[in-house]
Amino acid sequence: MTAVAITTGLVLAVAGCGGGGEGDGGAKPKTSATSASADKGGTQESESATPSDKVLAESKDGDITVTINSATRDAGGYVTVSGSVRNDGGKAWLGENWRSDEQELRKNGGSLAGASLVDEAGKKKYLILRDTEGKCLCTKFNGQVQPGQSASWYAQFPAPPEGTSKVTFQVGSMPPAPIDITEGE
């Protein structure tokens, strides 16, 4: 009887931690700095797939378009920004010019390691967060985004002070994109 009760409790606990809702397909960004460091892989998706239907901002540089779908302040003291990148060009794109200039982050390769949030009112620039191994808490594009394809991405930054909700997202040679930070759960 005791073994059955323990097994039933464990099954219910595991089922409660499943986390997936209908249709989330694993495309949602991680919601903690610890769990985000474990997921460095960007995934390529079909043309119509985006993390959300809501568009906070869009920025275009040549044939590459970055769309920002969410910017959420989380209770842990950081902001998670997510969206998609679309390649409308004729050749594959890897995101090499999105790399960071910082020595520690150079090993991240084609990723959002060079992204930042700028609080113009507070005159501060927030660089990408990193784990204890120096890897960015962001998507690393493990492969190229082929012509006509999109890839989802996320990036985590230290949160600006409470009350600051307007920042500018910057990455590579993309024009700055003003976004509003929303409060997380």
pTM: 0.69
Per-residue pLDDT tens digits for 74-100: 988 999 999 999 999 999 888 777 776
Per-residue pLDDT, averaged over 32-42, amounts to 39
Tell me which of 185 and 82 has the higher pLDDT. 82
Cβ distance 67 to 58 under 8 Å? yes
Mean pLDDT score across all residues of the chain: 74
The model's confidence at residue 185, banded by pLDDT at 50, 70 and 90, is low
Q: Show the domains of the chain with their CATH numbers.
A: 32-183 (2.60.40.10)
Better-scored residue on pLDDT, 157 or 49 = 157
